[in-house]
Amino acid sequence: MQSFRTELENPIVEKDIIDLEKKIMAFREGKIHDEKFRSLRLARGIYGQRQPGVQMVRIKLPFGKVTFKQLLRIADISDEYGSRNLHLTTRQDIQIHYVSLDRTPELWAKLQEDDITIREACGNTVRNVTASPTAGIDPQEPFDVSPYAHATFEYFLRNPVCQEMGRKFKISFSSSDADTAFSYVHDIGVIPKLNSNNERGFKVLLGGGLGAQPILASAVEDFLPEDKLIPYIEAIIRVFDRYGERTNRNKARLKYLIQKIGLEEVLRLAEIERTALKVKSYPINRDTVPLPAVPEQTSYPEVNISNPFRYEQWLATNVFEQKQKGYFGVYIKVTVGDISTDTARELVKLLQPLVADEIRITQNQGLLLKFARKEALPALYEGLAKLELAAPGFDSVADVTTCPGTDTCNLGISNSMTMARVLEDLIYNEYEDFIYNRDIKIKISGCMNSCGQHGLAHIGFHGSSLKAGTKVLPSVQVMLGGGTVGNGVGRAADRVIKVPSKRATDVLRALLEDYKALSQENESYHSYYDRQGKDYFYRLLKPLADLTNLTDDEFVDWGHQETYVSAIGVGECAGVIIDLVATLLYESEEKLGWANESFRNGAWSDAIYHSYNVLLSSAKALLLDKSVNTSTQAAVIREFDANYVDKGEFDIEGSFNDLVLQINQHEPSQEFAQAYLAEAVAFLEKSKAKREALVQ
């Protein structure tokens, strides 16, 4: 690969990018194990695609905020390094596909010029912090959560407590009790509240998640004062880091730790961690995310509306008045979340005189524009219509959320993006009245992992396969009855029946016809589903699961011409933990370097946590020499005492448990950081000597 250098204003980011380049070169030279390198690049937002030799780069946009200039920069990057397409995700990121690994450091450097990062967009880290896209303009919000989401993003980016967890960690900020950021399916989800003294705080939900086994979060705080939020999150993450599963990825989320040891125990352990926290109070600067400037233009030329009926539909479904009177938020429905780079540029050109310079990516893969004057709406609609971005029915039955599925994802079992387009066309052509219905959400994932959020859909589908004799055909698992209730309460969808993929259109017709015919006046879909019951819907759809009358077309997946073959690659949603002794000791040396650097910079808490990781990596390396496999950091501590200290094979004063867990018994002072770092240095040297003796 060709080396490059760039001068960035932020030396920390520049060091990050140069380090990535060096690691790629070392990987190419065979000096870094493939699995270790995978973990490293994932933490830099670089994800292997289904297609060999190319990467998906995920751009981390805190709470989905992007300026016109940033969007143009990302479009230019996609032209130069990717496939000239921008994919909007359900976590408010933008993804670029078909990128060469060797060009990713250069890509990152160019993004950083406009303050855009890919750091920790994938991997076993705190993922993109999401928030209701309407935050700041939501008529129902007690206050704008954007500065709090931004502070959380900044605090945990590159934070030692969350760089190498057992799995990913997801945080959301809803703007109101409507809970449009889905607090109930996040590791930590928060909803803004005002107490009787008009002080700000948050309702806190803990331990939710989608995936193959959706688990709803538990409410743990009704009112957590605003300055206590980030310390609270850090305490939970420290517990997850130490006690969370690290071997079985399917059980390595916070929700499973809570299942295993109980919610009360997780909260008790978090309380113990409070002593060691970097800060006990973290006041939020409420001015870090100011509202964007209102467009200066106040008069607009007369516009001839090309389709008055569609315009009225668009006004009714895609436009709402902000809490700032006289201004309107405008949603753009983006089919399957894909925007070509040429369209993105034309969009910015259209928007600049008409709306504020801030776009928010929405959780259903659309866009939200802010501060449009009423007089600007006709021109805005006509401009969007020319770009084929003026479809009505945002966030309605006709607005289907989907992941990329088999188009690019290793884990995809069947196609989801073409199916989403087909289902949307069905709504517009056969059930146009449903574009006004925001009570029913349709969501599709290409596999059971719920990247398309099928687990919280009223009507959901996830990719699967079925056997018909000796042949395999693409299928979908039909999920019903999920969705948001409000104020932290949500519902996980039920698995109802599995049918061939090509019958998804028949499934949707059957469900909508049934709801139209038998629902009571103003009856919500949740109420209707509960009244009829899961078995009713199973019997309704059972004829569509009959495999005795299959056609040749049903053995071909949506968007394909060839006969279906089930092919699942290795998933990279979070990194794979490497259990190689030499690699672990090498990592210990690297972490010791980080500890020393943090200490020199006066970052006592960071130095302490890096030292903690030196101790754990070194001990785990020696345990592997005895073929002792551990699945949590707590187990490493316990097993090292049992296999080395108690047997007199490793000489330390007291127990390894006492040595390591000093971390949560001391304030993060300079004195303790210096002492703990010295003990980590001594332990690593003893570990290396022990390892050398064992090898010889």
Q: Is the pLDDT of residue 648 over 90?
A: yes
CA atoms within 13 A on the CB side of 226: 21
The predicted structure's pLDDT at residue 577: 37
Examine the pLDDT at 659 and tell me if it is beyond 90.
yes
The confidence score (pLDDT) of residue 696 equals: 60
Q: What are phi and psi of 301, to 5 degrees?
A: -70, 155
Q: How far is Cα of residue 181 from the mean position of the Cα atoms in its chain?
A: 12
Residue 484 has pLDDT above 90, yes or no: yes
566 band by pLDDT with thresholds 50, 70 and 90: low
Helix (H), strand (E) at residue 380: helix 377-386
What one-letter code names the amino acid at 404? Answer: P
* Contact predicate 182/456, CB 8 Å: yes
CA distance 164 to 144: 31
* pLDDT tops 60 at residue 579: no
Segment 281-307 mean pLDDT: 93
Q: What phi, psi does 207 have (nearest 5°)? A: 85, 25
- Report d(CA 665, CA 272) in Å as an integer: 8
Report residue 51's pLDDT band, with 50, 70 and 90 as the boundaries.
confident
**What is the Cα–Cα distance from 164 to 160, expressed in whole angstroms?**
8
Residue among 535, 416, 422 at smallest CA distance from 481: 535
- Point out which residues pair with 47 in neighbouring strands: 56
Report the alpha-carbon distance of residue 108 to residue 116 in Å, rounded: 8
pLDDT band at 573 (very low <50, low <70, confident <90, very high): low
pLDDT for 380 equals: 98
d(CA 441, CA 419) in angstroms, rounded, equals 15
How many Å apart are CA 378 and CA 467, to the nearest integer?
Answer: 52
**pLDDT one-digit tens code per residue, 360-407:** 999 999 999 999 999 999 999 999 999 999 999 999 999 999 998 877
307-365 pLDDT, tens digit per residue, is 999 999 999 999 999 999 999 999 999 999 999 999 999 999 999 999 999 999 999 99
Cβ distance 507 to 597 under 8 Å?
A: no
Taking only the tens place, the pLDDT of each residue in 255-273 is 999 999 999 999 999 999 9
- 11-112: CATH number: 3.90.480.20
For residue 7, what are the contacts with CB-CB under 8 A and spacing of at least 6? 14
> What integer pLDDT is reported at residue 8 of this predicted model?
62
pLDDT of res. 578? 36
Q: What is the pLDDT of residue 638?
A: 97
- Segment 478-501 shows an average pLDDT of 97
Does residue 1 sit in helix, strand or coil? Answer: coil
pLDDT band for position 450 (50/70/90)? Answer: confident
Of 211, 30, 14, 37, whose CA–CA distance to 119 is shortest? Answer: 14
One-character DSSP codes across 387-414: TT---S-TTSTT--EE--GGGT-TT--S
Segment 660-667 long-range contacts (CB within 8 Å, at least 24 positions apart): 660/612, 660/615, 660/616, 661/637, 663/276, 663/608, 663/609, 663/612, 664/238, 664/272, 664/273, 664/275, 664/276, 665/275, 665/276, 666/275, 666/276, 667/275, 667/276
Spatial contact of 487 and 481, defined as CB atoms under 8 Å apart: no
Q: Which amino acid is at 512?
A: L
Counting residues of the chain whose pLDDT is more than 70, the rounded percentage is: 96
Quick one: what percent of the chain has pLDDT higher than 90? Answer: 81
pLDDT band for position 576 (50/70/90)? very low
**Lowest mean pLDDT across 153-157, 506-510, 692-696:** 692-696
Query: Helices (H), strands (E): how many in the chain?
Result: 20, 22
**Architecture of the CATH domain 581-695:** Up-down Bundle (1.20)
Q: What is the pLDDT of residue 567?
A: 53
How much is the pLDDT for 584?
Answer: 81
Give kind and range of the element (H or E) at residue 623: helix 604-625
Report whether pLDDT(4) > 60. no
Q: Of all helices (H) and strands (E), which one includes residue 332?
A: strand 327-332
Tell the residue number behind the tokens 């188009």, with chain if given.
Answer: 407
Angle at the Cα of 167 from the Cα atoms of 616 and 184, rounded to 5 degrees = 135
Starting at the edge strand found earlier in the chain, the sheet holding 367-373 runs: 65-66, 359-361, 367-373, 327-332, 319-321
At 404 the pLDDT is 85
CA angle, residues 70, 135, 317, in degrees to nearest 5: 90
Provide the pLDDT for residue 256: 97
Is the per-residue pLDDT at 489 higher than 50?
yes
How far, in Å, CA of 546 to CA of 90, rounded?
33
The tens digit of pLDDT for each residue in 7-45 reads: 566 788 888 899 889 889 888 888 787 777 887 888 889
Rounded-to-integer distance, Cα 295 and Cα 357, Å: 8
**Residue the block writes with tokens 């006066």:** 602
**CATH topology (fold) of 403-555:** Sulfite Reductase Hemoprotein; domain 1 (3.30.413)
Instruction: Output the six-digit token pair for 131.
Output: 């928030």
- Going along 42-93, which residue ranges are E strands? 46-48, 55-59, 65-66, 85-88
The domain locations on the chain are 11-112, 130-276, 308-386, 403-555, 581-695
Domains 130-276 and 403-555 share a fold: yes
pLDDT 10s digits, 195-237: 999 999 999 999 999 988 899 999 999 999 999 999 999 999 9
Strand 489-491 relative to strand 483-486, pairing: antiparallel
Q: Provide the CATH topology of domain 130-276.
A: Sulfite Reductase Hemoprotein; domain 1 (3.30.413)
Query: pTM of this prediction?
Result: 0.93
Fold of 308-386: Alpha-Beta Plaits (3.30.70)
The predicted pLDDT at position 282 comes to 98
Q: Read off the pLDDT of each residue in 451-460 and give the average, rounded to a whole number.
A: 94
Measured between alpha carbons, how far apart are the two ends of the chain, in Å? Answer: 38
3-state secondary structure of 87: strand
Tokens 């060999």 belong to which residue? 52
Cα radius of gyration rounded to whole Å, the chain: 26
Whether 333 and 389 have beta carbons less than 8 Å apart is answered as yes
Instruction: Say how far apart CA 425 and CA 147 lie, in whole Å.
Output: 39
Q: Average of pLDDT values for 674-681?
A: 97
